[in-house]
Amino acid sequence: MSDQPVLYSVDAAVATITLNRPDVLNALNPALMTGLREAVERARDDASVRAVIVTGAGRGFSAGADLGAGRDSTRDSADTLRQFYHPVILAMREMPKPIVSAVNGVAAGAGMSIALAGDIVLAAQSATFLQAFSKIGLVPDAGSTWFLPRYVGDVRARALAILADRIGADEAHRYGMVWKVYPDETFMAEARAMAERLATMPTRAYALIKQALNGTHERSLAEQLEVEADLQREAGKTADFREGVAAFREKRAPRFEGR
């Protein structure tokens, strides 16, 4: 196994980004967050990549910030967040390709925030989620206070943040923060199949869909209608739109090329 904190590979137009510190449940440190940022940017810039999977090596997705002895306790947390965490969360949201978060095991603290930053969040049956922050006297960060109220509503977001209870995949699914749960045995194959499916779809439209949904909660209906109209103009100019309509008329499956 490589000792790189983040692994990156591309197969069949799908980039797989693997958090790779399995001995510590992929706890996050500056080297891992830098690697994650670079991997996300690489997937963004590689025209052959049309979908991305983010997952964890070993039995965890990520246990959040590394609390081990090696961490630099003299460093201001806000500086660490701004330098290493915010660019990753923003790059994931702004990534013009769909991201599947394949939550293979525990997602805690900022590890849970990273999972929630994906577009389609899938969980293995044995995966767990916890807003570990308050257990060690911290506040949720890396976007959890933004994602959770929007995904699960205020009542659950507050309870999750305050109580820091560890919840299972089924509960996370019921709350609405996970799209689908799969048995552990087939989980990675299902996540891969989802990403491969996304990689055959109209990639430009996906980029525009992400743009439409990013920030929708901050806009009025009238403003959002304008955003939709502008983005639809762009989508309407793509080869994939022409192909989608042609395939519909010819009663055949479309062959989207992502442009």
Q: What are the residues binding ligand LHQ (CB under 6 A)?
A: 24-25, 27, 63-68, 77, 80-81, 85, 106, 108-110, 130, 132-133, 135-136, 138, 141
CB of residue 217 vs ligand LHQ: minimum separation in angstroms?
A: 24
Please say which residue, 44 or 158, places its beta carbon nearer to ligand LHQ.
Answer: 158
Please say which residue, 93 or 204, places its beta carbon nearer to ligand LHQ.
Answer: 93
CB of residue 59 vs ligand LHQ: minimum separation in angstroms?
A: 7
Please say which residue, 68 or 153, places its beta carbon nearer to ligand LHQ.
Answer: 68
Quickly count: other Cβ atoms within 10 Å of residue 101's Cβ: 27
Please say which residue, 52 or 65, places its beta carbon nearer to ligand LHQ.
Answer: 65
CB 135 within 8 A of CB 164: yes
CB of residue 170 vs ligand LHQ: minimum separation in angstroms?
A: 18
Please say which residue, 101 or 203, places its beta carbon nearer to ligand LHQ.
Answer: 101
Residue number closest to ligand LHQ, CB atom: 109
SS (H, E, C) 42-79: HHHHCCCCCEEEEEECCCEEECCECCCCCCCCCCCHHH
192 vs 17: CA distance, rounded Å: 12
41 vs 64: CA distance, rounded Å: 21
CB of residue 191 vs ligand LHQ: minimum separation in angstroms?
A: 21
Please say which residue, 44 or 71, places its beta carbon nearer to ligand LHQ.
Answer: 71
Residue with tokens 């042609």: 246
CB of residue 43 vs ligand LHQ: minimum separation in angstroms?
A: 23
* Burial class of residue 44 in the structure, from the number of CB atoms within 10 Å of its CB (0-12 exposed, 13-18 middle, 19+ buried): middle
CB of residue 63 vs ligand LHQ: minimum separation in angstroms?
A: 3
Residue 245 amino acid letter: V
CB 47 within 8 A of CB 11: no
